[in-house]
Structure 1
Amino acid sequence: MEKTVLEDIQERLASARRELEEELDRRIAVQRERFRYQMQQGKVRFEADMREWQARYRTGLWRYVTRGHLAYLLTAPVIYGLIVPLIFLDLSVTIYQHICFRVYGIERVRRGSHVIIDRQHLAYLNGLEKLNCVYCGYANGVIAYAREIAGRTERFWCPIKHATRAADPHPHFEKFLEYGDAEAYRAWIESYRRGKPFPESKS
């Protein structure tokens, strides 16, 4: 069958996304050369003179705290209080995917691709700034990790697009079946029951 207009747009969006990701990788490589750091066994390694240069821009901890906004300090317990549900979410989705994804035959999500903690290697950050950056890296990484697990689960159980456009759908959403296409959904169910791989949207 001929591709629908929607499918054509989705393919072009996917192609544009791939091109942008490649451009981003090239720009990251340029920044590595500019700021002279390398990745060694998953860790960031700056050249010595670059670390010395960065350290000149570090604000002392006492000055950082005393000159900060009082309201920021008062809201810190609210922000850091979320560490408990975040750890629970991290543990829960990890256990979930190790049990259920094995049963469903879904490829498991690599946690390290989402939970990235590396800003503590920056010499221009003081101790509190490093702690904040570690926390933000962990919090946003766990949410992205959980989102990918949820996306793969949705793809397995209910791969149907919504009637309205989502603000920022997960990457699997583009391949979902069109909203209202009963024939395609039933064909997918039958295919799934015969153990065939997940089909693309009708084309």
Structure 2
Amino acid sequence: MRGLEIELESELAKQRTGLRYGLERGRALFEEEVVRRHRALRTHVARYIFSARPLVWLTAPVIYSLIIPFVIVDLWVSIYQAICFRVYGIPQVRRHRYLVFDRSGLAYLNAIEKLNCAYCSYVNGVIAYVREVGSRTEQYWCPIKQARRVIGTHARYAGFEPYGAGEHYHERLKVLQADIRAAEAPADPLEDA
């Protein structure tokens, strides 16, 4: 799986070259000509707002109201792992790896589009972060596959014990707990770029 991730990153690097940008200390930098063309593509904020359908205006507060529960979940999960993971010797999830806000550097986005992108980046980053905390918790406490097929399982799920295979469960549980204690999140290839 790690080999496929490296291969994927190699392909993404080729795409970046085609789009004429590179990563420098984790930050995307475009060539000046590309930035100039991007600015020409940007929709003025007033036109963006006034061209929106009325239902978009009405649903925007509903969408943005979710920020409150997501901030609470983000904070609560951070406190949870800070306390509980230390007690059980589980390596803490590095939150900053899941919260990436690099779309603000795109010159073809106006201020509202950049705000929308930041919102989506935060919400989806929190979901990924919480999922990783949850997967480490599940591996430590209950690494058993479900009887029914689960859609969108996390990466650790494949190594869990089959449902109903209880003969060696407690021995396997100890192994999986030791594995999670010894494991650290894989290095982020973009973080070092």
**Normalised by the size of structure 2, how large is the TM-score?**
0.86
Match of 2:113 among 129, 139, 153: 129
- The Cα offsets for residues 91-135 of structure 1, whole Å up to 9 and x where unpaired, read as 111111111111111111111221111111100001100000000
User: What is the rounded CA distance, in whole Å, between the counterparts of 2:78 and 2:13 in structure 1?
Assistant: 31
Match of 1:42 among 26, 31, 35: 26
Instruction: Read off the aligned partner of 1:62 and give its amino acid letter.
Output: A
Partner of 2:178: 197
Q: Is the contact made by 1:188 and 1:198 (CA closer than 8 Å) also made in structure 2?
A: no
Match of 1:109 among 80, 93, 115: 93
Partner of 1:22: 6
User: What is the rounded CA distance, in whole Å, between the counterparts of 2:83 and 2:153 in structure 1?
Assistant: 25
User: What is the rounded CA distance, in whole Å, between the counterparts of 2:52 and 2:100 in structure 1?
Assistant: 27
Partner of 2:59: 75
Partner of 2:187: none
User: What is the rounded CA distance, in whole Å, between the counterparts of 1:128 and 1:115 in structure 2?
Assistant: 19
- 2:126 maps to 1:145: no
Secondary structure of 2:99's aligned partner: coil
Secondary structure of 2:93's aligned partner: coil
Please state how far the C-alpha of 1:196 moved relative to its aligned partner.
7.1
Over aligned residue pairs, what C-alpha RMSD do you find?
1.9
Please state how far the C-alpha of 1:19 moved relative to its aligned partner.
5.1
Secondary structure of 1:182's aligned partner: coil
Secondary structure of 2:116's aligned partner: helix
Partner of 1:51: 35
Which structure has more relative contact order (CA 8 Å, sep 6+)? It is: 2
Q: Is the contact made by 2:139 and 2:177 (CA closer than 8 Å) also made in structure 1?
A: no
Change (3 A) 1:68 1:196: closer
User: What is the rounded CA distance, in whole Å, between the counterparts of 2:111 and 2:100 in structure 1?
Assistant: 18
Q: Is the contact made by 2:140 and 2:177 (CA closer than 8 Å) also made in structure 1?
A: no
For this pair of structures, how many residues does the alignment match? 180
Gaps of 5+ in 2: 181-193
Partner of 1:174: 158
Instruction: Read off the aligned partner of 2:98 and give its amino acid letter.
Output: H
Please state how far the C-alpha of 1:156 moved relative to its aligned partner.
0.1
Overall identity of the aligned pairs, in % = 46
Q: Is the contact made by 1:177 and 1:184 (CA closer than 8 Å) also made in structure 2?
A: no
